Amino acid sequence: MLQTFLPVRHFKKNTLGRDFVVGDLHGCFAQLRQELESRQFDPSRDRLFAVGDLVDRGHESPAVLDVVRRYDIQSVRGNHEDVIVRWHRHGGRDSSIRCNGGDWLLDMADDTHAVDEIVAYMAALPYAIEIETDNGLVGIVHANVPVRSWAQLVQALEQESRDGPIRRKVIWDRSRWTSRRATGLTSIGHAAAQLLQRLAPGWCDPRGHVEGVAAVIVGHTPTREPKVRANVINVDTGLVYGGNLTLLALDEVPMLLSRASREKPASGGSKRYPAESGV
């Protein structure tokens, strides 16, 4: 379980079995077990990746390390894991844990070894994962890619401190899934985006295509069903709020992107859920 922190973790192509990515679990592990059983998941051949937010709000959160070990889950860091690490190691307030549904962790305060083990696991989680597939490189982050290309993202994540702006946006940014009015954007074409990039270096369309990867899979912003914008797929379908669990097989990604490109984007699409601190 103990591993060295790397901002970005790279995984070679799985030549033995299948790769899956699961949306935000928030301590709802029984549903994960049922879905994996229905897919005949085999940990000796198949791999399970996660978009972060493994814990909080769901009543099974204290069992997080048992579940991670059982299925050898490879997860990125979500905002909930980040808040826990900051609370424990950098003098955070108990209120920051409570308002994010982390009472379960405060209830474990007397078991310092268990808390230390959970925090050590979360502190080692990367901000991004990249996976080689038959269809190209697939990236995973918790919330969004706030730069134009995956290579730019990797470079920034490897160079920044824990309070760097890219690291923060990777785990908190909801702009891809909020309304165009909220982001100050209307429908913008590729040529216009290129012009803006020349006039304002560093600018990127928060809803735009992420260069250098076939797809990026994220969570963080609950939706009624998996959503696709450009080549970014959101698999947080609000499990802890009564929604469904999304378990996406990576070999389904090309079909999902192709179908989304043919469909007219629906207006809205995000459900309203209790606000989280730190936004």
- pLDDT (tens digit, 9 = 90+) per residue, 124-163? 999 999 999 999 999 999 999 999 999 999 999 999 998 9
Asked if the structure places residue 203 within a domain, the reply is no
Asked if the structure places residue 251 within a domain, the reply is yes
Asked if the structure places residue 201 within a domain, the reply is no
The pLDDT assigned to 187 comes to: 40
Residue 166 in contact with residue 147, Cβ under 8 Å?
yes
For the chain, the distance separating the N- and C-terminal CA atoms, rounded to the nearest angstrom, is 30
**To which residue do tokens 């379980």 refer?**
1
Residue 248 in contact with residue 171, Cβ under 8 Å?
no
Asked if the structure places residue 176 within a domain, the reply is no
pTM over 0.75: yes
Region of residue 246 (phi > 0: left; psi between -120 and 50: alpha; otherwise: beta): beta
Asked if the structure places residue 3 within a domain, the reply is no
Evaluate if residue 265 carries a pLDDT over 70: no
HSE at residue 271, side-chain half, CA atoms within 13 A, is 18
CATH number at residue 77: 3.60.21.10
Asked if the structure places residue 269 within a domain, the reply is no
- Reported confidence tier of residue 171, pLDDT bands at 50, 70, 90: very high
Q: Tell me how many domains the chain contains.
A: 1
The alpha carbon of residue 231 and the mean position of all alpha carbons in its chain are separated, in whole angstroms, by 15
What does 36-104 look like in DSSP terms, one character per residue?
A: HHHTT--TTT-EEEE-S--SSSSTTGGGHHHHHHHHT-EEPPPHHHHHHHHHHHTT--HHHHHTTT-HH
Q: Which of 29-43, 62-76, 142-156, 194-208 shows the lowest per-residue confidence on average (mean pLDDT)?
A: 194-208
Residue 257 in contact with residue 231, Cβ under 8 Å?
yes
Range of the domain at 20: 8-143+214-262
Asked if the structure places residue 104 within a domain, the reply is yes
Asked if the structure places residue 84 within a domain, the reply is yes
Q: What is the DSSP letter of 274?
A: -
Residue 223 in contact with residue 237, Cβ under 8 Å?
yes
With residue 34 as reference, give the H or E element that holds it. Answer: helix 29-38
Q: What is the DSSP letter of 275?
A: -
